[in-house]
Amino acid sequence: MTRTTVVTGGGTGIGKAVAARFAADGDRVVIIGRRADTLVTAAKEIGGTALPGDLSEPAEVERVRADLAERFGTIDVLVNNAGGNVEMHGGHDGLAERWTANFRANVLTSVLPTEAFRELLNPAGRIVFISSIAALRGSGGSSYGPMKAALHPYAFDLAAALGPRGITVNVVAPGFIEDTEFFGGTLDDERRATLVAQTHTGRAGTPQDIAGTVHWLASPDAGHVTAQIIQVNGGAERGR
């Protein structure tokens, strides 16, 4: 049966890889993000539908929800991937501004669409949040880790609320993943080597590693897996 899969932040990196994995299965894939040009290009590449929108803004989320309902009626899979550490890219002065910016980028962009789209989810639907290793071990003093960590209890509560409908809710927490825009060009060779050395597998992760895990969580094989945090980090969270 063809499913409708919605991936936020689906224009690049992990989100694009997740969307491509579901599209390869024949799903109707909808990608959502702020950068319309990037989104449209990605949608053409994977054979999906682009719905531009800023998911940190309630009015934008409602507009996207209405568009989804009109075009597709219901959805089967929601992957909340939008986010990133905005502190790494500058432009936010002061502690309150930096924490608020990461709250908007990582918490609101997951909570607002989830609450808006939850009634569109079919029975046996799937919700997956993309968190981070930083939510489990800290993020070097930035607000990014705490904001990703906020999604974990939210996912647990949501799993309890939606479980009677047969809907599962899980979290995937990646470690260091290459070929994304996360570091914004700030990752030098020394830092990369340090991050790889923290793994037990001796390599960086790839967007496809995360896509494969999300795809499994959305499959019938994972129908009894809910309220879980799945780490995909090569063992890095355990330390060396």
Catalytic residues: 144
Q: What is the rounded radius of gyration, in angstroms, for the C-alpha atoms of the chain?
A: 17
Q: DSSP for 16-35, please give it.
A: HHHHHHHHHTT-EEEEEES-
Residue 96 CA to residue 104 CA, distance in Å, equals 12
The owner of tokens 């705490």 is: 146
CB 126 within 8 A of CB 217: yes
- The Cα–Cα gap between 119 and 74 comes to 8
Report which DSSP code applies to 239.
Answer: -
Q: Write out the H or E segment, with its range, that includes residue 115.
A: helix 109-117
19, 4, 162: which is closest to 69 by C-alpha? 4
**The 3-state secondary structure of 199-234, one letter per residue:** CCCCCCECHHHHHHHHHHHCCHHHCCCCCCEEEECC
